[in-house]
Amino acid sequence: MNLKAETLSKIDEVITHYPVKRSATLPLLHLIQEDIGHLPPETSEWVAAKLELEPINVLEVITFYPMFRQKPIGRRHIKVCRTLSCALVGGYKTCATFEAEFKTHLGEVSPDGEVTVDFVECLASCGTAPVVLIDDELHEKVDAAKAKQLSDQIKAEAKKR
Ligand code: FES
């Protein structure tokens, strides 16, 4: 697995927090996903070796939880809240705007590799719905017009690279 040195040391440290090694499965998967952006196929075997498990035990965890991604995502991750408060004030339209702007569909990498748009559940900012998380940054009151504005911003930043 091609992980950063920092991730590898966090992994070794996290394992020491648990009296039973297998309990570290979820934290390890989160750390790997944070580093690479998704969980590549070799993850099950690698984590299993670390935690003295069978690869199938790890694969079961990866496939059970929807927050784990087995496919790569775009450079930017746009997460649109679809829970009630956001849905009621246009969250679905916000999402459709991002999809149209980047010519992509939910959960897929846009053709330019720039973004993946996903729905997520409540982001705990219901009073400023619709809410969108772009990478780690929360954006509030994102109606279709603001979604277009944010898309333009992402495209402009991509051009500078
Ligand atoms: S419902 Fe969208 S942030 Fe709570």
pLDDT in tens, 105-128: 999 999 999 999 999 999 999 999
To test ligand 1's pocket by mutation, which of 82, 128, 131, 143 has the most ligand atoms within 8 angstroms of CB? 131
Given the DSSP bridges, would you call strands 132-134 and 76-81 parallel, antiparallel or unpaired? antiparallel
- Does residue 70 lie within any of the structural domains? no
The minimum-distance atom of ligand 1 relative to the CA of 91 is 2
E strands present in 20-64 = none
**Domain count of the fold of the chain:** 2
Cα(31) to ligand 1 centroid in Å equals 26
Q: Answer yes or no: are the C-beta atoms of 47 and 53 closer than 8 Å.
A: yes
Structure confidence at residue 131 (pLDDT): 98
Cα(2) to ligand 1 centroid in Å equals 35
**pLDDT over 90, % of the chain:** 95
- pLDDT category at 14 given cuts 50, 70, 90 is very high
| Same domain as 88, residue 53 | no
| Same domain as 155, residue 93 | yes
| Same domain as 148, residue 84 | yes
- Does residue 28 lie within any of the structural domains? yes
25 has pLDDT over 90: yes
Cα(87) to ligand 1 centroid in Å equals 8
Among residues 121, 125, 117, the alpha carbon closest in space to that of 83 is found at 121
136 has pLDDT over 90: no
pLDDT digits (tens, 9 = 90+) for 28-81: 999 999 999 899 999 999 999 999 999 999 999 999 998 899 999 999 999 999
| Same domain as 43, residue 14 | yes
Residue 20 is part of which domain span?
5-64
154: enclosing H helix or E strand: helix 144-160
Look up the CATH number of the domain holding residue 125: 3.40.30.10
